[in-house]
Amino acid sequence: MNRLGLYANQLAHHLTITDNRTGKTIEIPISTSRESDFIHSIKLGQLQFQGQPLRVYDPGYMNTICCTSKISYIDGDKGILEYRGISIEELAEKSTFVEVAYLLINGELPSKSQLQEWNEKLRKHTFIHTDASQMMKSFRYDAHPMGMLISTLAAISTFHPEVNPALAGEGIYKNQDIVNKQIYRILGSLPTIASNSFRNRIGREHNMPHENMSYVENFLYMLDKLNEKEYKPHPKITRALEVLFILHAEHELNCSTAFVRHLSSSGVDIYTAIAGAAGALYGPKHGGANEAVLRMLEEIGDLKNIPQFIKDVKDRKKLLMGFGHRVYKNYDPRAKIVKQIAYQVFEITGKESLIEIAIELEKIALSDPYFIQRKLYPNVDFYSGVIYRALGFPTDMFPVLFTIPRVAGWLAHWKEYQNDKENNIVRPRQNYIGPEKRNYIPVEQRKEFPIYLESNKSSRQKRRETATLS
């Protein structure tokens, strides 16, 4: 019996719960899926006490299923990741990012003619409106690329009022032609927006998309072309980045993907929803994780410092970044592939100095009972940051490089959500612990409570406050 006084026992196909506060017994059907068994939590509302229904408290959604999806599957205990039933290992070896995006969004691998048409549709939408390009040039020289990307995505929603549900009507996305058009626009233009963000950061003019290059190759072209008449990225570097894009394209209901569904439940336009998801990805606990790995490796600095670092981790003085995962309790299947890519990149660019520290750190951690017992294995972020560094990307571009492929997964979930019969607006409940009803007190009669109101001040502001003002 738990502290709520509930007795529970699981039978073959239902859960029987007796509430000892009231003596009421209910039976809740147990649904079974490939991933887990579950019950519909709304059924718990049948158990009421003093007029209040029983609810489930789950901060961070640690044990909550909020949707039904066909897009990706993860078995964290076995280290399995599949896109529409196809293993990530097979896709990374045999496929391209554009083909994987088609698979995720449309549910099946394309035929030869479908792939050709899909490529052509995306290629035709690589250009962005000149007003959007001009707006991007107005950002400060030191603006973070991710901030530019998020802002531009949100701004582009104003360029297409005819497909904004708030302006054109809630049913606008029931039209499959309109849904497809937004997918082509966003997926096609994102490398252009991303490359413009990078070019702004280094003080260079934006490059126009190349009409005869592949998706990933074109992105590298727009990033790096200067005044050469013919510029073509190295095919092995293109392939390495392509595989990284495949690995990052989709990962079930992570923070940003869940946010796409959350925002879409309000009926907001897809550009705002994608911008919001990119905002979630911008956070250091999500898209900034590989940057944290680099900082950790730089802090270690030398192979001889690893034993002390491991000791500090065990003593909870340091954090081991790039190990462990909310879902995986085994070796992240993407991490194995990324490690292989690292060596392919180093053959071209030269070995990144931090890789030796990363390899040795992984070796020690995987043989140490402390980490084995806690099921802390390398995740995809552990080596990806080192590869991006070797490829010459500044750390502030890392979340942008994460966003480009993940948009394919976001769009897949958005499209799936449009046809979801359970797509009610998201409205979680809270556990309120604030004051009970009380009266308004006139300002003259109020007691002053010790509430901190200060904010940080610049040296200039402090100097100004010393002046005599009138």
Q: Identify whether the C-beta of residue 322 lies closer than 8 Å to the C-beta of residue 382.
A: yes
- Categorize the per-residue pLDDT at 331 as very low, low, confident or very high, splitting at 50, 70 and 90: confident
How far apart are alpha carbons 328 and 402 in whole angstroms? Answer: 19
Using one digit for the tens of pLDDT, what is the confidence trace for 150-178?
A: 999 999 999 999 999 999 999 999 999 99
Kindly give, in sequence order, each residue whose CB lies less than 8 Å from that of residue 459, ignoring residues fewer than 6 positions away: none
Examine the pLDDT at 252 and tell me if it is beyond 90.
yes
User: 164 φ, ψ to 5°?
Assistant: -100, 115
Whether 286 is catalytic is yes
Q: Lowest mean pLDDT: which of 11-20, 139-148, 381-390?
A: 11-20
Using one digit for the tens of pLDDT, what is the confidence trace for 442-453?
A: 999 999 999 999
Nearest CA among 100, 61, 63 for reference residue 82:
100
Mean pLDDT of the chain: 91
Indicate the SS3 state at residue 10: strand
**Of residues 248, 325, 396, 413, which has the active-site annotation?**
325
How far apart are alpha carbons 413 and 422 in whole angstroms? Answer: 14
**Of residues 19, 269, 332, 381, which has the active-site annotation?**
381
Q: What is the phi-psi region of residue 61: left when phi exceeds 0, alpha when psi lies from -120 to 50, beta otherwise?
A: left
Examine the pLDDT at 9 and tell me if it is beyond 80.
no
- Categorize the per-residue pLDDT at 7 as very low, low, confident or very high, splitting at 50, 70 and 90: very low
What is the pLDDT at residue 112? 97
Using one digit for the tens of pLDDT, what is the confidence trace for 278-310?
A: 999 999 888 887 888 888 999 999 999 999 999
Using one digit for the tens of pLDDT, what is the confidence trace for 193-226?
A: 999 999 999 999 999 999 899 999 999 999 999 9
More confident residue, 233 or 464: 233
**Of residues 144, 286, 312, 368, which has the active-site annotation?**
286
How far apart are alpha carbons 196 and 130 in whole angstroms? Answer: 12
pLDDT average, residue stretch 42-60: 91
Q: Which two tokens stand for residue 261?
A: 């569904």
- Categorize the per-residue pLDDT at 10 as very low, low, confident or very high, splitting at 50, 70 and 90: very low
Using one digit for the tens of pLDDT, what is the confidence trace for 53-109?
A: 999 999 999 899 999 999 999 998 888 999 999 999 999 999 999 999 999 999 999
Question: Alpha helix (H) ranges present in 176-323?
Answer: 176-201, 215-224, 235-248, 255-264, 270-282, 289-300, 306-314
Maximum average pLDDT range among 47-51, 92-96, 344-348, 450-454:
92-96
Q: Identify whether the C-beta of residue 237 lies closer than 8 Å to the C-beta of residue 391.
A: yes
Kindly give, in sequence order, each residue whose CB lies less than 8 Å from that of residue 382, ignoring residues fewer than 6 positions away: 290, 293, 321, 322, 323, 335, 338, 358, 362
Q: What is the pTM of this model?
A: 0.90
Q: Identify whether the C-beta of residue 377 lies closer than 8 Å to the C-beta of residue 332.
A: yes
Residue 278 Cα distances to 152, 154, 432, angstroms: 11, 10, 30
Nearest CA among 151, 92, 96 for reference residue 122:
96
How far apart are alpha carbons 115 and 421 in whole angstroms? Answer: 30
